[in-house]
Chains A and B, each alone.
Chain A
Amino acid sequence: MNNTVISVKGLTKRFGDFTAVNCISFDVKRGEIFGFLGANGAGKTTAMRMLCGLSYPTSGSGTVVGFDVTREGEKIKRHIGYMSQRFSLYNDLTVWENIRLFAGIYGLSKAETIERANEILARLDITSERDTLVGSLPLGWKQKLSFAVATIHRPELVFLDEPTGGVDPITRRQFWEMIYEAADNGTSIFVTTHYMDEAEYCSRVSIMVDGEVRAIDTPTRLKEQFAAESMDEVFRILARGAKRGD
């Protein structure tokens, strides 16, 4: 079994004159929690969309879970999970209906669906909310539920796009516990965030500025390299010259 889940070389995405992602290259190893950092507008989401098979690269190449990002997008999708802050679940479906829908989409059988659904409900302690519309759940619950749903088919790799945006610190904590749990079960995690304290939880991080990857290493070694106290400082040093973002 290959030990690399993501391998990217010179990946570039242009929209007209605008280069959103400029020639990025990196590898993510199996079982890693890979933090993909950058300010708003740095190109994180665009890069991630290319890796998930949502967007074609303008140039460059890459493989995700062993499949080519340009030609084998649909094969990639069978082996990955994906959740984002804004999107994810259907607000006008209940908790149970959402779980059943995505289980069905990933081809789980009826028995498996029921088993995993109960497991999720128990683990998130929302069995009583089984028939509540997702739209009326608090944001924190929604995010935990989306993560559970994104991993319902036990994917090799999960992409999380700012999963903890806008949720309270306690929920963030609980969320990261779920991430660790998944990683312990052998799922690799690719997570974008702009909370720098969260970066400390990652096994390795990359920092994107203006569409380029400026640094990539473990948090400890990055702090050493930039002689910084925290990841926050590292980030600020790197982002100082940024032209894009807010």
Chain B
Amino acid sequence: MRQLYILIQKEFIQIFRNPLLPKLIIIFPIMVMLVMPWVTTMDVRNVGVTIIDEDCSSLSRHIISDIRAAEYFSLNDNVKTHNEALTLLEDCKVDAIVLIPRHFERDLLSQDPQKLDISANAVNATKGMLGSQYLILTIGSTLSNYNNHLTAAKTSDLIVIQNRFNPTLNYRHLMIPALMIMLLILICGFLSAINIVSEKENGTIEQINVTPIGKVTFILAKLIPFWFIGLFVVSIAMIVAWAVYDLSPTGSLGSIYLATILFILGFSGFGVSVANLSDNIQQTMFVMFFFIIIFVLLSGLLTPISSMPEWAQNFTTILPPRYYIDIMRAVYLKGSTIADLWPNFVALGVFVIVFNALAAFTYKKQS
């Protein structure tokens, strides 16, 4: 026990004496939490639309004013020709062009109606898809109103939408827990890996290996400081989330911290394993970078897992952050309990065992 205590003390001294690490541990999470949530919005509220009205009828004016009134669109109406509009689209100044053809109103009820044309820039798939869906809905309802007898019921009056857990559809609330996890992945992953490999590169690990210190004691002494650091980072992030974005967990703090403890332990075990298997600092960083970027981009932190192809969805089951983000989002936004989420906790527990077994196994005192 005294050995473990002494070793942990040593780790803390080294971390605090590093010129960069203490700043990184405090400032990095605060900066990230202050800046990044503002970017994390997929809100499709400002779809830039330009309308070319070749019809100039009362119906076309109706369509224009309904689009202008809808909350999703910002109308750019300084455009006269289709070419002008296309240039705007190419420069990403607008996202969609609506072309109302000549005689659209006149021929609407004829056998062979003119078709209204919507062109959307689908380079950004979400905005393209959603923007055009909204346009269809808006224009559809204008047409229905205009042609009252044609329609059975106005959809928007028939349906009430209830958005549970995040009633204002605030994308930020979805992304803040994800950002916390990214912070943890970055800090605990990189730092734990780099910590061991710099002992290797400085040769001090050799001195440790020639002492009777137990493998498990040594690895634990490497992992435990990251528990504290990780919990500290998450706490800072939660405070910023509460103070700046008015977001606090609906569920219990206990389940958040339990999940965090499991995640950090598993993940820093992973970092230590990578460091054990690498030759030098640069190699370790490249390998960690490789895994971290996969964890960040494929665990459903930024883009939904349900949007991935099936093989990729199956692949995500081996990514620990996937289970952690489910827990964090569910507890933060839905108020889910450990009882609701127990499979995720079990999965995190399995990762803890696997990665730390790997860390102990790959650390060899005698080669």
Contact = CB atoms under 8 A, between A and B. Distances in A.
Are chains A and B touching in the complex at the 8 Å CB cutoff? yes
Contact of B212 (A86, A87, A106): A106
B210 A52 contact: yes
B366 A97 contact: no
Contacts of A84: 203, 206-207
Contact of A97 (B5, B10, B208): B10
B207 A104 contact: no
Contact of A90 (B14, B210, B365): B14
Contacts of A88: 203-204, 207
Given A53-B366, A104-B3, A91 B202 contact: yes
Interface string A73-88: 1110110101110111
B213 interface: yes
Interface residues of A, number: 32
Contacts of A107: 2-3, 212
Nearest to A83: B207
Interface in B1-36: 2-3, 5-7, 10, 13-14, 17-18
Nearest to B211: A105
A155 B5 CA distance: 23
A159 B206 CA distance: 13
A242 B33 CA distance: 63
A54 interface: yes
A223 interface: no
B367 interface: yes
Contacts, number: 79
B114 interface: no
Contacts of B209: 54
A142 interface: no
Q: Summarize B's interface: helix, strand, loop or mixed.
A: helix
Interface in A50-89: 52-56, 73-75, 77-78, 80, 82-84, 86-89
B71 to A, nearest CB: 57
Nearest to A161: B206
A102 interface: yes
Nearest to A77: B212
Given A90-B10, A91-B202, A93-B13, A106 B211 contact: yes
Interface string B292-331: 0000000000000000000000000000000000000000
Interface string B208-227: 11111100000000000000
Contacts of B210: 52-54, 77, 80, 82, 159
A202 interface: no
A97 B13 contact: yes
A192 B204 CA distance: 19
Contact of A104 (B7, B204, B206, B367): B7
A130 interface: no
Contact of B366 (A55, A89, A90, A159): A55
Interface of B: 2-3, 5-7, 10, 13-14, 17-18, 202-204, 206-213, 365-367
Given A74-B365, A84-B203, A107-B212, 10 more contacts: A53-B365, A54-B209, A54-B366, A55-B367, A77-B210, A78-B212, A88-B203, A101-B6, A104-B5, A105-B211
16 contacts: A55-B366, A55-B367, A56-B367, A73-B366, A80-B210, A87-B206, A87-B207, A88-B207, A89-B207, A90-B14, A90-B202, A93-B17, A104-B6, A105-B208, A105-B212, A105-B213
